[in-house]
Amino acid sequence: MSADRQDPIAAIATAPGRGGVGIVRISSPADLAPLALALCGRALPAREACYVPFRDGAGQPIDHGLALRFPAPHSYTGEHVLELQGHGGPVVLQLLLARCLEAAAQADVAGGRPLLPRLRLARPGEFTERAFLNDKLDLAQAEAVADLIDASTEAAARSAGRSLSGAFSQEIAGLRDALIHLRMLVEATLDFPEEEIDFLQQADAQGQLDRLRARLEAVRQRARQGALLREGITVVIAGQPNAGKSSLLNALAGAELAIVTPIAGTTRDKVTQTIQIEGVPLHVVDTAGLRDSEDEVERIGIARAWDEIARADAVLFLHDLTRRGEAGYEAGDAAIARTMQERLPSRELPVLHVWNKQDAADGAAPEAGIALSARTGDGLEALRRQLLEIAGWQSAPEGLYLARERHLQALRQVDEHLQEADRRLSHGNAALDLLAEELRLAQNALNAITGEFGADELLGVIFSRFCIGK
C-alpha cells in the first residue's frame, strides 16, 4: 500500500449546494478520539449520535449538529471514522472542513505532537477505495456505490442496491468455486498420470464444464440486462423537416421540450431528453431536419444531426404519412437512406421506420415500420415496445443486478476460455496441460470482476470517477 493511503483524509460528503443537512467525514488509520475532543469539546462514545457544538480554534461554535465516531474496523472504510453532521450551507461546511484540518495540525497538550499528522483532503472516491482495500467491499460492490448514486431510474437504483449488497459478487463467487473444483480435477490428473483411475471421467468433468458454461450464460444474460439499466441506449430521431420529429420527442417525453411549428427548419440544434421504459433509460435526441439548405445556421444543425446519427445506438427514421406518394418527398427520404448507408458502411445500425401523422393521413401506412400519431398518441405504445426490443431488453427476473461494460468484457473472456477448454477436454489426456491453462485464465478473468487481484491503474480509474467524500 502506498504511503499516501496511510494518510488520514477528510472531505465534505454531501453534494455541493445548500441543503438541510451537510456532512464532513474523516477517515484515519489512527484513533480519532483526540480530534473529536478538540472539535466537539467532549469525548464521543463509539457509535452513538451526540448533539454537540462544532467549535472553532477559539472555542466558539461554528455550528451545532450530530457527531458520530466509528472505531476501526467497524466503519465504512474499515478505519477510524468521524462524521460531523451539521447544517448544509456551503460556507458552514467549508468552515467546518477547514477547522478539521486546522485542529489536526495543532499540538496535543501531553506530547506536543499534532493531534492527527498528515490529515489531507480526500481524492474522489478515496473513502470507498479504502473500504475496498480494507476488505469491506469487493470491487464490484465498490462500483455499485457509484452506480447507486448515479442511478437515473428506480429499476437502476434497486439493481445497484442488490449489487452493493453482494448479489452480483455472490454469483461470481459461485462460478469461481465451480471453476476451482474443475481445475482441481484437471491438476490431479496431471500430477498423478500413472494412476489407473481417470479422475476426469470418474468425476464427470465434461458434465461439470457444461453446467459451468450454462451457469455462466445465465449470469451474462442478467449482466447484459443490468448494463442496459445503467447505461441505456441513445436513440436519434431523424428525417426530413416537418415530419414531426420534435412532436414525437415531446410525445415520448410527455412534456413540451422542443419547439413545434409548421415552419420547416424550426429545429436548428439537437434536443436531448432521457426517458425510461420499464426502467430502461433511453436518451432520445431530436435533430434538425435533413435536407439541402442555403441557410448557414441550418446547415450547421444538419451537420450535427449526422454526427448524432453516427454515434447513435438506434435511429428512428421518421416519415410524414400525409406526404406519402409525393415524388419530391419520397426522393428526399431515399436520399437520406442512401447517405446513411454511405456514411455508416461498417455499422449495423438499427434503423426503425416510423410513419407519423396517421390521424391526418388518407392512405394506409406501409407494412414495414410503425404507424403512429405523435399528436394523439396512437401507436406510441407499439413504438415503446419496439425500442425495448432494439435495446435488447427482456422482461427481467427478480434479483437483477447492475453491471458495467468492464464486467461484460470480463465475462466474455471467461466464456471464450471455457469454450477453448471444452475443445481441449474433447482431445483427452493429450491436451490436459492446455485445458488447465484455459481454466486458469478463466478464473483470472472472474477474479478481475471482484478485484481479488488487479492493477493499481484499474483501481485509479474506477475510484477517480466517484464524487468527493465518497
The reply to whether 136 sits in an annotated binding site is yes
Confirm if 237 and 353 have CB atoms less than 8 A apart: no
DSSP states along 18-86: -EEEEEEEEEESS--HHHHHHHHSS---BT--EEEEEE-TTS-EEEEEEEEEE-TTSSSSSSEEEEEEE
The reply to whether 191 sits in an annotated binding site is no
Of the candidates 265, 233, 240, 272, the residue with the CA atom closest to the CA atom of residue 339: 240
How many whole angstroms separate alpha carbon 200 and alpha carbon 190?
Answer: 10
The reply to whether 357 sits in an annotated binding site is no
How many whole angstroms separate alpha carbon 36 and alpha carbon 28?
Answer: 12
The reply to whether 267 sits in an annotated binding site is yes
The reply to whether 286 sits in an annotated binding site is yes
The reply to whether 272 sits in an annotated binding site is no
Of the candidates 398, 447, 444, the residue with the CA atom closest to the CA atom of residue 173: 447
The set of cell numbers assigned to 206 is: 465434461
The reply to whether 27 sits in an annotated binding site is no
The reply to whether 468 sits in an annotated binding site is no
The reply to whether 222 sits in an annotated binding site is no
The reply to whether 159 sits in an annotated binding site is no
The reply to whether 373 sits in an annotated binding site is yes
The reply to whether 226 sits in an annotated binding site is no
The reply to whether 25 sits in an annotated binding site is yes
The reply to whether 339 sits in an annotated binding site is no
The reply to whether 262 sits in an annotated binding site is yes
The reply to whether 274 sits in an annotated binding site is no
| Secondary structure letter of residue 365 according to DSSP | P
Helix-, strand-, coil-residue percentages of the chain, each rounded to 5: 50, 15, 35
The reply to whether 245 sits in an annotated binding site is yes
Of the candidates 120, 46, 177, the residue with the CA atom closest to the CA atom of residue 468: 120
Backbone angles phi, psi at 264, to 5 degrees: -65, 140
How many whole angstroms separate alpha carbon 323 and alpha carbon 361?
Answer: 8
The reply to whether 369 sits in an annotated binding site is no
The angle that helices 456-464 and 126-133 make with each other, rounded to 10 degrees, is 140
The reply to whether 247 sits in an annotated binding site is yes
Question: Dihedral of CA 31/33/39/45: which sign?
Answer: positive
The reply to whether 86 sits in an annotated binding site is no
* Residue 460 C-beta-side C-alpha neighbours within 13 Å: 5
| Secondary structure letter of residue 453 according to DSSP | S
Known binding-site residue numbers for Mg(2+): 246, 267
Known binding-site residue numbers for K(+): 242, 261, 263, 266
Known binding-site residue numbers: 25, 83, 136, 242-247, 261-267, 286-289, 373-375, 470
Known binding-site residue numbers for GTP: 242-247, 261-267, 286-289, 373-375
Known binding-site residue numbers for (6S)-5-formyl-5,6,7,8-tetrahydrofolate: 25, 83, 136, 470
